[in-house]
Structure formats: C-alpha cells, structure tokens
Chain A
C-alpha cells in the first residue's frame, strides 16, 4: 500500500464533557473508497468533519496529503482546497445561481478566469446530468437536483479527496437513487479518494473498498464490504446491521 493520503493518529475530541471521538486511528490510501456507518451520535460525521477542520480535534494528529492540521489558517485553507465536501443539507448558496455556485470557488480560491471556471462548471453539470438548470437559483430545484449541484460544486475545485456527510439522508426517497448514481459514477470513473458517511448499504457493497463501523466515538470494526455485511464480527455491528437491513 502506498503512502496514506489521510492519516488519523489517536484522535480524540470532546463536546464539553461528552467524548465524541475516542482514539481514532485511520489510514486512507490514495484512491481508496471508504464507507462509514454507525448509529446516530456515534461520531462518524464529526470524524470526517475533522478532516477538513470544520471541527477541531483536541488531541492526536490528523495529516491530510502530507500536511498536518493545526491552527495555522493558511494550511487549513490549503487543505480545504484539496478536499471537497458534500453535506446532508446541501449548503448551496441560495442567493447565487447554480452556475455562480459552481464558479465561486474556482474564481476566488483557485484564481481561474471566469470563462474557464464556467466551462469547467458546465462540464460537471453535464456529468451530474443537470446542465439545463445552470441559470436557476437553488431554491427552484428539487432536493435531488440540489445535491447533485452540490457534488458538482465540489468537483469544480478538482479535489483529491471527497467527503460525503450523509448525502442522501435529507432527500425524499424517490430522489436518493439519482444522487447515488452520480456518486457511483464518480467512484468508478475518477481516481478520487472518497470517504462517505451513509446508511445506503447497497451503495457500500457496490463501490466501497472498505466499510468502517463506528459506535460511541470508536471505530469498532472495519472490513471489505462483503465480509462486513455477510460476516460481522462484533455484537454491536450485528445489532446495527439487523436494525437497518429489515
């Protein structure tokens, strides 16, 4: 295995007295695709939010693409340029059109020309199959379309790593598939490293190289998908799987 692109070493975090992350150790290889699951409150979202420092860890080390995350704002901004993030509630900018949402980062952070940024944006809108919505505002789109725009927005930054924080859990059931299809396509076609917090087990089986199960702030179990689903080792994993696979 080549040098890890993301490395978490003994990471701990507390919210007040509540211990959210307990001694997390995780190495992610370049191009690896990882699905993280676990009951709510298990710290899975917090963990991936630490990777682009939307949350700060309090002890241990997090190294992303060779750069250690510290309070140095310049380094944090540098890492955020390389790490895309897709949120549960999309977090599109409602006062900007879809196209403006997509070009904002490339123009202001990557200092690309407007024309170049718009060309890239249209390319990724085609890829998520909604180029015709480019001039609309996010509020005029359905949830599934908004999430696809959000994915395209991250892709426009040409990130090495993509983090997905429960990308389908705020969607109406009939829209989950369109978003998952885009994510599957992304996993299969690009060499991007992906970390995805999700309960979509079909997706996990199809694309994940590794599935990680977290509970109460700890990584309890990790395995390749088939072994993870067919032959879970830990009792808590078994309980969790029995609850979600009805």
Chain B
C-alpha cells in the first residue's frame, strides 16, 4: 500500500523577535551580559566624544592655526590648507593638475580592469595607453608640458604608481617563481628556492636601504638607476617572493587528477598551467593574495626612509610647517582615511570576485 505523505510544505519559520534575539545573543549568560554592558559603556564613552571632536567642534575654515586651536575640535582647516601638499607633494604648484589627472587615469584603468566585461585582449592596449598618458603627464617635456624631474613627484600619485607597478610586475614574477619552485628541473628549482628564501628572510626596509645605498656600489661607473626606480624594483622583488609562496600553496591544492586529465588531452606544460591549473589554483588563493596586495599598497609608505616623497612623507612635511604646528593627528587621520578607502575597496572587490568565480563545485 502506498503511503500518503503529509510532510510540511517548507521549513519552519526562522523568524525571531528582536527581544528574543537580544536575549539569545547579548544576555545569554552572566558573563555575556557583563561583556555586553561593558562594551556598551565603552561605546557611550568614546563615540559621542569622537563625534564631537571630528565634526561638531571641528573647524573647517579657520584662516590660521591660533583660530583653529581655540575651537577645541579637529582642525580640518589645516587639511584644507595643506591638501595639495599632502596629495601631490612638492610637484610644481601650478602644474598639479597633471598629477591629479594622472591619478584619475590610473584609478580609472584599475577600476576597468576589475570589471569582467573588460577582460578582453584590448585591456592590455588600454593599460599601455593609460601608462603612456600617466608618464607624459608626470614627466612632461612634450606637448608643451614643462619637464618635471621625478624627485619632485610625490603624494598620492606616487603611492599609486608604486603600488600599481608593484602589483603588476610582482604578480607575474611570483607566478613564475611558484611554478619554478615546483619544476622538475633542478637548476630552475634551486634558483627559485634560493631567491624566495633569501628575499623572505630580509625585511623590506633593508631591501629598500640596499637598493638605495648598496646597489649603486655594484653598478659600473657612470651607470646609475634613478632612486624611484630602485625603490620600485625593491618592492617588486619583495612582494614577488611572498606571492610565489602563496601561489605555490594554491598549486598544491589542485588534485593530481587535474594534471592527468590535462596531460591525457595532449596539452603542453604551458597550456596545462594556463588553461587548467592556474585558473583553479589562483581562485583558491584569492584571499591571501589580496592580503599581499593590500600590504604591498601600505608598505609603499616605507619608501619614506629613503627620502621618496610618497603620501606618508607628504603628510609628515605638511605637519612640519611652523605656521601650522600641532595638527599631526588631523594629517595622519586624513592619509589613513585615504589608505583605508583604497585597501577597503581592494578587499571588497576580492569578495565579489570570489563570488563571481564560484562554479558550484564544492569539494
């Protein structure tokens, strides 16, 4: 005899009231209740005071430091006064539309590269055009633009340039190192292992020092590479070693069967890597890889120590102005806010990328 089912149509309602939720999540035990009260108390102490300092008593249009200090709140007038120095460093004042435009172009291509509909062969051409435009704008010397030496570059565009080129070159180099470290060829493997371990054993600061102080000693007489380029190379070499190890972790997570499936079709080594292995391995390591990109972005601020005028150095210079002494908090909060916007965007993007690349294959 067939049984007649009277199973319910759907799962039971999971809705709980706000009060029930609070009891379950915030006051479920004496300890939990104590912690909730403590956190609430801390928030009550901090948030209103911070809000008052940041906005209510803040001074946005004081004309001098004295006036600003009297208000007792944040002195945003200082940022208004110094924003061009912080954003563009000592780039000639009248020409600062050029780094501004360069920054906008750079951010524009980065945003485009993040969108899948632009993942076409012409993206390379777009990048080439954008970078040429950025170089022309920054250096000048053609089309009636006055020439600006790159030791006068500074601020946000410099930070963006260091980070963009850092990621753009460190990533492919890291991929090659990761593949090399797994190679069957002993010489290639040894070279990659030595490189990765050496670089990872040294702090970025000492690499930057080495690049600015030691490297010129090794170069032949009369041959010099520009300071900015040397710092850029140091950043690339440093990040590549970390990227290599992260990618290697991803490669190791790909089951042997994927290699065999690809091999049995007669794909060559590079075809296997490009079409089968790397797409899967990189997907696995998106979170740690993005972590490396974010820290690379922030680590560009270390070029301060070899006297390159990036965003952090520009803020330091602004703070040092005798006429506006004592507003370092505002200056550093301002650049922290800029760093945060970029890093947070990278982080959010990586989350959406992970979702987009989901192909319903759960192991």
Q: Is the CB of A157 within 8 A of B265?
A: yes
A77 CA to B265 CA, complexed, in Å: 8
A91-B257, A94-B280 known; A80-B361 Cβ under 8 A: no
Comparing A21-29, A118-126, A137-145, A232-240, the segment that makes contact with chain B is: A137-145
A139-B362, A157-B265, A157-B266 known; A54-B260 Cβ under 8 A: yes
CB distance from A72 to the nearest CB of B (A): 13
**A225 at interface by CB-CB < 8 Å:** no
CB distance from A106 to the nearest CB of B (A): 9
Write the A85-128 contact mask toward B (1 if CB under 8 angstroms, else 0). 10101111111000000001100110000000000000000000
Q: Which residues of chain A are near B260, meaning CB under 8 Å?
A: 54, 85, 87, 91
Q: Which residues of chain A are near B264, meaning CB under 8 Å?
A: 52, 54, 80, 83-85, 87, 91, 154
Q: Which residues of chain B are near A109, meaning CB under 8 Å?
A: 265-267, 271
Q: Is the CB of B263 within 8 A of A95?
A: no
Q: Is the CB of B261 within 8 A of A93?
A: yes
Write the B101-112 contact mask toward A (1 if CB under 8 angstroms, else 0). 000000000000
What is the chain B residue whose CB lies nearest that of A85? B264
Interface residue tally for chain B (C-beta within 8 Å):
22
CB distance from A243 to the nearest CB of B (A): 28
What is the chain B residue whose CB lies nearest that of A100? B275
Q: Is the CB of B280 within 8 A of A95?
A: yes
What is the chain A residue whose CB lies nearest that of B361? A139
A87 CA to B279 CA, complexed, in Å: 22
**A81 at interface by CB-CB < 8 Å:** yes
A95-B283, A95-B359, A139-B362 known; A105-B267 Cβ under 8 A: yes
Q: Which residue of the partner chain, among B258, B265, B357, contacts A104 with CB atoms under 8 Å?
A: B265
Chain B residues 261-286 with CB under 8 Å of chain A are 261-268, 271, 275-276, 279-280, 283
Chain A residues 147-185 with CB under 8 Å of chain B are 153-154, 157
Q: Which residue of the partner chain, among A78, A95, A139, A140, contacts B279 with CB atoms under 8 Å?
A: A95
CB distance from A169 to the nearest CB of B (A): 14
CB distance from A194 to the nearest CB of B (A): 15
Q: Is the interface of B mostly helix, strand, loop or mixed?
A: helix
CB distance from A97 to the nearest CB of B (A): 8
Q: Which residues of chain A are near B276, meaning CB under 8 Å?
A: 93, 104
Q: Is the CB of A140 within 8 A of B360?
A: yes
Chain B residues 341-363 with CB under 8 Å of chain A are 357, 359-362
Q: Is the CB of B268 within 8 A of A94?
A: no
A92 CA to B363 CA, complexed, in Å: 13
Q: Is the CB of A94 within 8 A of B361?
A: yes
CB distance from A176 to the nearest CB of B (A): 20
Q: Which residue of the partner chain, among B261, B267, B279, B361, contacts A91 with CB atoms under 8 Å?
A: B261
CB distance from B89 to the nearest CB of A (A): 44
Q: Is the CB of B271 within 8 A of A93?
A: no
Q: Which residues of chain B are near A108, meaning CB under 8 Å?
A: 267, 271, 275
Write the A62-90 contact mask toward B (1 if CB under 8 angstroms, else 0). 00000000000000011011011101011
Q: Is the CB of B268 within 8 A of A87?
A: no
A89-B257, A93-B258 known; A137-B263 Cβ under 8 A: no
Q: Which residues of chain B are near A80, meaning CB under 8 Å?
A: 263-266
Q: Is the CB of B359 within 8 A of A137?
A: yes
Q: Is the CB of B268 within 8 A of A77?
A: yes
Write the A22-44 contact mask toward B (1 if CB under 8 angstroms, else 0). 00000000000000000000000
A90 CA to B258 CA, complexed, in Å: 9
A87 CA to B361 CA, complexed, in Å: 18
Q: Is the CB of A94 within 8 A of B359?
A: yes
CB distance from B221 to the nearest CB of A (A): 46
Q: Is the CB of B258 within 8 A of A81?
A: no
A137-B361, A139-B359 known; A81-B257 Cβ under 8 A: no
Chain B residues 315-341 with CB under 8 Å of chain A are none
A157 CA to B265 CA, complexed, in Å: 8
Q: Is the CB of B263 within 8 A of A54?
A: yes
Which of B260, B265, B360: most chain A CB closer than 10 A?
B265
Q: Which residues of chain A are near B261, meaning CB under 8 Å?
A: 87, 91-93
A137-B359, A137-B360, A138-B361 known; A91-B258 Cβ under 8 A: yes
Q: Which residues of chain A are near B268, meaning CB under 8 Å?
A: 77
CB distance from B337 to the nearest CB of A (A): 38
Given contacts A80-B263, A154-B264, 17 further A-B contacts (CB under 8 A): A52-B263, A54-B260, A54-B263, A77-B266, A83-B264, A90-B257, A91-B257, A91-B264, A92-B261, A93-B262, A94-B280, A95-B283, A95-B359, A109-B271, A139-B359, A139-B362, A157-B266
Q: Chain B: residues with CB nearer than 8 A to chain A? A: 257-258, 260-268, 271, 275-276, 279-280, 283, 357, 359-362
- Complex A-B: 17 CB contacts under 8 Å: A54-B264, A77-B266, A78-B266, A87-B260, A91-B264, A93-B280, A94-B280, A94-B359, A94-B361, A95-B359, A95-B361, A104-B265, A108-B267, A138-B361, A139-B359, A139-B360, A157-B266
Rank and list the top 4 A-B pairs by shortest CB-CB distance, nearest first: A139-B361, A91-B261, A94-B361, A80-B266
